[in-house]
Structure 1
Amino acid sequence: MTSLREISVGGPLLFPSNAALRRMGYGKEEATAHGFRAIASTLLNECGKWHPDAIERQLAHIENNDVRRA
């Protein structure tokens, strides 16, 4: 089993870019870091345990483009 430290290459972020996903064997059409972020946001918001603003702050996704941000 691969540890998170091995995947993150010792950095503070698990997925600082899509490179970690590629090293795990996922192709560009299969998985993206943004896709994981979107899944996390959806699941955390649906469970109702946390305030939506807190979820977005923790995911630290700041998008300047209004369409992409939505």
Structure 2
Amino acid sequence: MKKVKLPTTVESLQAQLSKERKEHKAELKRLKKELDKEKLRSLANSTMIDLAEKMFNISIRKKSDAK
């Protein structure tokens, strides 16, 4: 198990917490950006399937009444 060195002064604790907070904010920003990109990709795929179904008059998606 990895041992964590705890800060001994209030200032060092505040500095560590500030650093961790910045890292968490950066990670959250990255994840939100990734989520937005994935939502856009999903919308593009759905739109592409809709257009293909109309244009080629074929059924691509599964029907809900599958046996």
TM-score, scaled relative to structure 1 = 0.28
Larger radius of gyration: 2
